[in-house]
């Protein structure tokens, strides 16, 4: 009889214990929904201060990774409660008084995977964490990417084997293979991710890249267009439209390429990566918009050497050297009070003439030097480039 009573008391204790954990997790999720992130974390920490309960630890991880204000190497996290009409991103990275919580996710979860080797949710949580630190720290974390990538892959594979993986698990495995240039290997993972959730734009986008790198432009086009349809973010949507344009360019379909490049530019105006291919196609097809687009491209950064080098590449490849010379000369009056632009225009005019008329080139190099001397110190690198140009003029 005594044994039965003890057994009943033990079962009752376990039932109450389990119920407390379930109720606490539910209450914590309610707090998260109310954006009481620190309150939710503290509630869980009170229940499990030693971080021994897998479900509680995983919810703690979720709060810290998704709702931190700031973090120190993703080992210490600042949390706060905010109002329902606020967003945690409004606080992130800004000064303030916040409570810090030491929570070494990798150490805690690694320990728990040894205690609960069949709990694949722990492996998924560990892989999620390693992926987050890869994104946030870009190889400058406690472990570099060479160490992180195998850990991500091993733990996500265990999550897959235990039927704990979701579409993001497969997406990350595809992504890890893609950044390691394992283009064929990443394709099945992206396809599986899309099978589980066909509304996740990044799976379509990265799959398009994988197909593009394996010279399967038909599939690349299909999935690039899918990502364009799904993305809402302005920059991502513009990037997807530009990828479609790039694929059409490789297919030598200039008409459709231009349509999508222009779409990308409309979505995200004044973007260097959109305007450059548009200008190239306008010049290639003798489009009347070439002049205004050249001006727009130039105005992105009139003193940046990259702009001048790009203009040379685009104009020369389309055999329009004289048109570029005329354009540079036309800008001289528009930037007459800007000595850096004046110096740049003269310098790059000199470079163009260096191939055809060294006497004219020499004059422009001298003018460039005179303008740059008004704004740069004598040891500036541009003067070495001018001297080299002048030496070539004498040969």
pLDDT digits (tens, 9 = 90+) for 144-200: 999 999 999 999 999 999 999 999 999 999 999 999 999 999 999 999 999 999 999
Got the DSSP string for 297-316?
Answer: HHHT-TT-HHHHHHHHHHHH
Distance between CA atoms of residues 106 and 125, nearest Å: 9
Both structure tokens of 236: 């991502």
Distance between CA atoms of residues 332 and 309, nearest Å: 18
113: Cβ contacts below 8 Å, ≥ 6 apart: 119, 122, 123, 126
Both structure tokens of 88: 């945690």
pLDDT digits (tens, 9 = 90+) for 234-261: 999 999 999 999 999 999 999 999 999 9
pLDDT at 8 over 90: no
Contact 331, 308 (CB under 8 A): no
pLDDT of residue 317: 96
Give the ranges where the chain is alpha helix by DSSP (H): 2-33, 37-47, 54-67, 105-115, 120-137, 145-161, 167-179, 183-196, 201-213, 217-230, 234-250, 254-267, 272-284, 290-299, 305-317, 321-334, 339-353, 358-372, 381-393
pLDDT at 73 over 50: yes
Does an H or E element contain 78, and which?
strand 76-79
pLDDT of residue 140: 87
What's the whole-number mean pLDDT along residues 340-361? 93
pLDDT digits (tens, 9 = 90+) for 98-150: 889 999 999 999 999 999 999 999 999 999 999 999 999 987 898 899 999 99
Distance between CA atoms of residues 35 and 40, nearest Å: 9
153: Cβ contacts below 8 Å, ≥ 6 apart: 173, 176
Domain ranges of the chain: 21-103, 286-333, 335-395
pLDDT digits (tens, 9 = 90+) for 291-300: 999 999 999 9
What's the whole-number mean pLDDT along residues 64-76? 94
154-191 burial code (b ≥16 CB/10 A, e <16):
ebbbbbbeeebbebbbbbbbbbbbbeeeebeebbebbe
Q: What angle do CA 201, 157, 132 make, to 5 degrees?
A: 55
159: Cβ contacts below 8 Å, ≥ 6 apart: 120, 121, 123, 124, 127, 165, 169
pLDDT at 381 over 80: yes
Size of the chain in residues: 395
Got the DSSP string for 155-206?
Answer: HHHHHHHTT---HHHHHHHHHHHHHTT-HHHHHHHHHHHHHH-TT-HHHHHH
pLDDT at 13 over 80: no
pLDDT of residue 19: 59
pLDDT at 7 over 50: no
């Amino acid at each position: 009889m005594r044994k039965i009573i003890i057994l009943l008391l033990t079962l009752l204790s376990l039932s109450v214990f389990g119920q407390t954990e379930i109720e606490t997790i539910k209450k914590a999720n309610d707090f998260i929904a109310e954006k009481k992130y620190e309150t939710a974390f503290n509630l869980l920490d009170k229940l499990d201060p030693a971080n021994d309960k897998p479900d509680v630890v995983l919810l703690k991880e979720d709060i810290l990774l998704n709702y931190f204000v700031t973090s120190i190497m993703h080992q210490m996290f600042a949390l706060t409660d905010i109002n329902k009409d606020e967003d945690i991103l409004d606080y992130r990275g800004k000064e303030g008084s916040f409570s810090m919580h030491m929570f070494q996710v990798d150490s805690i979860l690694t320990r728990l995977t040894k205690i609960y080797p069949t709990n694949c949710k722990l492996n998924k949580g560990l892989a999620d964490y390693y992926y987050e630190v890869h994104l946030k720290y870009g190889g400058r974390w406690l472990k570099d990417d060479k160490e992180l990538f195998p850990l991500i892959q091993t733990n996500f594979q265990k999550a897959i084997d235990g039927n704990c993986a979701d579409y993001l698990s497969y997406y990350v495995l595809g992504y890890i293979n893609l950044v390691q240039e394992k283009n064929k290997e990443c394709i099945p993972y992206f396809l599986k991710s899309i099978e589980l959730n066909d509304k996740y734009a990044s799976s379509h986008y990265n799959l398009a890249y994988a197909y593009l790198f394996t010279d399967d432009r038909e599939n690349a086009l299909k999935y690039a267009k899918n990502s364009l349809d799904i993305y809402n973010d302005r920059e991502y949507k513009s990037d997807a439209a530009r990828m479609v344009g790039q694929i059409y360019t490789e297919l030598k379909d200039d008409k459709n390429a231009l349509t999508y490049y222009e779409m990308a530019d409309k979505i995200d105006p004044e973007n260097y990566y959109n305007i450059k291919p548009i200008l190239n196609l306008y010049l290639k097809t003798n489009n009347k918009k070439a002049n205004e687009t050249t001006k727009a491209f130039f105005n992105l950064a009139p003193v940046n050497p990259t702009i001048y080098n790009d203009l040379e590449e685009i104009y020369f490849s389309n055999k329009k050297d004289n048109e570029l010379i005329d354009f540079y000369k036309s800008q001289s009056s528009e930037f007459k009070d800007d000595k850096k632009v004046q110096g740049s225009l003269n310098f790059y005019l000199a470079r163009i003439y260096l191939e055809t008329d060294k006497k004219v080139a020499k004059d422009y190099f001298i003018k460039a030097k005179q303008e740059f001397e008004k704004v740069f110190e004598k040891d500036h690198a541009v003067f070495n480039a001018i001297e080299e140009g002048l030496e070539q003029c004498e040969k």
